């Protein structure tokens, strides 16, 4: 699956163009799927964007772009 990269709240906030507090608030309410690893919550890019209503094509394109930048 494209977009299975885990990102933190700051990266998702930047990707969506929203404040980091908005991402954290929606994570706490389980509106954004996440996994807890140690002290931190991580979000899967494509799944989070799909859950928030960003279209699948854009979610996969953005996830691929993020993956290519860091690889």
Q: What is the pLDDT of residues 6-50, one digit of tens each?
A: 889 998 888 887 888 888 888 888 888 888 989 988 888 777 777
- Given its phi and psi angles, is residue 36 left (phi above 0), alpha (psi -120 to 50 degrees) or beta? beta
Q: Do 59 and 49 meet the contact criterion of CB atoms below 8 Å apart?
A: yes
Q: What is the pTM of this model?
A: 0.64
pLDDT of residue 49: 72
Say if 34 falls within a structural domain. yes
Residue 3 has pLDDT above 60, yes or no: no
Say if 1 falls within a structural domain. no
Residue 70 has pLDDT above 60, yes or no: no
Range of the domain at 53: 6-70
Say if 41 falls within a structural domain. yes
Say if 12 falls within a structural domain. yes
Q: Total structural domains in the chain?
A: 1
């Amino acid at each position: 699956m494209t977009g299975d990269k885990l990102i933190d709240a700051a990266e998702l906030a930047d990707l969506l163009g929203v404040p980091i507090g908005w991402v954290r608030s929606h994570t706490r309410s389980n509106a954004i799927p996440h996994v807890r690893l140690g002290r931190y919550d991580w979000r899967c890019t494509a799944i989070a964007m799909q859950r928030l209503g960003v279209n699948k094509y854009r979610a996969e394109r953005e996830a691929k772009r993020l993956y290519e930048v860091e690889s």
